[in-house]
Chain A
Amino acid sequence: KKDGEGHDEL
């Protein structure tokens, strides 16, 4: 997953 395509960490 490339960065910036939605962040899955809090």
Chain B
Amino acid sequence: MNIFRLAGDLFHLISIFILIHKMTTSKSCSGISFKSQALYLLVYVTRYLDLFWTFALYNSTMKIIFIGSSAYVLHLMTGPFKPTHDPNIDTFKVRYLIGGAAILALLFPYKWTPAEVLWTFSIWLESVAILPQLFMVQRTGAAETITTHYIFALGAYRALYIPNWIYRYLTSTFWDPLSIIAGVIQTVLYSDFFYIYYTKVLQGRKFELP
């Protein structure tokens, strides 16, 4: 474990807290993409199957938190706050994201075992899971400030894994090329959002797309 990964996981927890806080205080899930949230549950369920045969206090606790919280978010979006969910602006074709991740998982897993193929699927799916959310923000042309903080924290989580991978490569010649490639792609997908977030939201202005 290193400070970068710890900070990354902390940002991940913060993003989930911001999301749930926003939904429960505003009693609304407006501006949040259900498709992205559903993809995240799929990412966690397919990646954390090793909960059943490995145990590490930190990792197992975090895995349970991520699976539980994303299931809870989906419950909120399909239950109490369903009236505030507008599926007409959540139109990204997730079948291509799932299909692409599945193909890559079948072609290039570390090992052709069910657990490893699912893990690889999850890594690739996570790299694109934010696209429906970013696409929705693009379509509406703006986003609530709290939503931009959520997206920023979510992007910062995996961005911080990059120095973690560099650190681990330099200190222990460990490296996980699949996670690194997918993690870099994931972070690049946030880059225009990060730019607008930095130039707009952090200057105290509303998040509006040019």
Contact = CB atoms under 8 A, between A and B. Distances in A.
B161 interface: yes
A9 B50 contact: no
A1 B174 CA distance: 7
Contacts of A9: 5, 161, 164, 176, 179
Contacts of A8: 56, 59
Contacts of A6: 50, 54
Q: Size band of the B side of the interface? A: 20 to 34
Main secondary structure of the interface of A (DSSP, over half): loop
Interface in B151-210: 161, 164, 174, 176-179
Contacts of B164: 9
B59 A10 contact: yes
Contacts of A3: 110, 176-178
B150 interface: no
A1 B66 CA distance: 26
Given A3-B110, A3-B176, A10 B56 contact: no
Interface of A: 1, 3-4, 6-10
Interface of B: 5, 9, 12, 47, 50, 54, 56, 59, 62-63, 66, 109-111, 116, 119, 161, 164, 174, 176-179
19 contacts: A1-B174, A3-B110, A3-B176, A3-B177, A4-B109, A4-B110, A4-B111, A7-B50, A7-B119, A7-B176, A7-B179, A9-B161, A9-B164, A9-B179, A10-B9, A10-B12, A10-B59, A10-B62, A10-B63
